[in-house]
Amino acid sequence: MATPHDEHFWNSLGNYDEEIISIFKEAEAARPLIERILRHVGPDTVVADLGCGPGKLLPYLKDAKKVYAVDKSANMLAKARNVCGQANVEFIEASFADLALPELVDLAVAVSSVLPASLTDFNRLMAGIVAQMKLGATLVMLLPSFESQLYYSNLRLAWLIEGERKEESEAYRQITAMHAKYMNNLFGYIQGKTDFPIQKFWIADELSERIGSLNALSDTRIDRFEKPWSAFFPNEQKWIRAKPPCWMWLVTAKRQ
Ligand SMILES: C[S@@+](CC[C@H](N)C(=O)[O-])C[C@H]1O[C@@H](n2cnc3c(N)ncnc32)[C@H](O)[C@@H]1O
């Protein structure tokens, strides 16, 4: 079974928009992310859109000097190429782990695309990314939040008990089964084969510590990037009214 850590998963995806929860699905939800990215984009900026997928970010980068749209999935790059007619974009099929861009970039963006299979893999992916950045260049990443996932689980548990009036033991059983499927271990890194694309969910302090330990980035900021529930759970809007909504971690840092 392919997982998001290997390109077979992305190459075998039929309909990206239906199968993948992307922040770009809802323009309103993506706006603060785009604004954050565009703060670092001017007419002289060289950008890497790392894990560009079907190319949803590319139109917003039309005023950059140059954009390297990188993805290791040929299928995803073909989708992006089909919709992107921008002269400033060059597509590159490669993994971050062994990337060699034609030039170093001023801004590296990785939206939901750093999907490590292990701790070592995370270090390798990050080293590959950092090596393509000029000194002082900016990194912007969007990563899944562990805290948000727990928050969601507990809200859902309460809803099963109070909304659906399930026995608490039955509600616990359902949530535990959901955890077994979505978060198969506390560490979050995928271990062996699974029938579900588990991904690494980050505790904010853990992420901060890990980025610090790379000794390659400074001025790290980790902000909550709130997403409307509907962006995650399109069929469940009827039960989710909770505030705050779920969130991801929006990381910005400088290459030192
Ligand atoms: C969830 S999609 C996100 C796509 C896009 N950034 C978006 O937000 O719509 C993840 C993308 O990252 C790519 N990807 C994952 N790991 C990668 C790696 N190590 N090197 C290059 N691309 C990678 C996948 O092929 C996929 O297209």
CATH number for the domain spanning 217: value is 3.40.50.150
Domain count along the chain: 1
| Average pLDDT estimate for 108-135 | 95
Ligand 1 pocket, Cβ-based, cut-off 6 angstroms: 7, 10, 20, 22-24, 51-53, 56, 70-73, 76, 95-97, 111-113, 115, 125
Write the residue with the smallest CA distance to atom 8 of ligand 1.
111
CA of 238 to the centre of ligand 1 (A): 30
193 is a domain residue: no
Q: pTM of this prediction? A: 0.90
pLDDT digits (tens, 9 = 90+) for 203-252: 999 999 999 999 999 999 999 999 888 777 766 555 667 889 999 999 99
* CA-to-CA dists, residue 152 to 99, 189, 201, 207, angstroms: 36, 20, 13, 20
133 is a domain residue: yes
pLDDT of residue 24: 84
158 is a domain residue: no
Burial of 78 (0-12, 13-18, 19+ CB in 10 A): middle
CA of 108 to the centre of ligand 1 (A): 13
Task: Compute the distance between CA of residue 207 and CA of residue 222 in angstroms, rounded to an integer.
Answer: 8
pLDDT of residue 127: 97
Residue 170 phi/psi, 5° resolution?
-70, -40
CA of 216 to the centre of ligand 1 (A): 22
Substitution candidate for ligand 1 out of 34, 71, 92 with most atoms within 8 A of CB: 71
**What six digits make up the tokens of 58?**
């590319």
Secondary element (H or E) of residue 182 = helix 168-182
Count the residues in the chain. 256
pLDDT of residue 1: 46
Q: What share of the chain is helix, strand, coil (3-state, %, to 5)?
A: 40, 20, 40
Higher pLDDT, residue 231 or 88? 88
238 contact partners, CB below 8 Å, separation of at least 6:
none
**What six digits make up the tokens of 153?**
């689980």
176 is a domain residue: no
Domain with 29, as residue range(s), is: 7-145+200-232+247-255
Q: If we measure between CA atoms, which residue out of 68, 99, 102 comes closest to residue 86?
A: 68
183 is a domain residue: no
167 is a domain residue: no
152 is a domain residue: no
Q: Where are the alpha helices (DSSP H) in 39-133?
A: 74-83, 119-130
109 is a domain residue: yes
Task: Compute the distance between CA of residue 120 and CA of residue 126 in angstroms, rounded to an integer.
Answer: 10
* Percent residues over pLDDT 70 in the chain: 83
pLDDT digits (tens, 9 = 90+) for 183-205: 656 677 766 555 555 578 899 99
Mean confidence (pLDDT) of the chain: 88
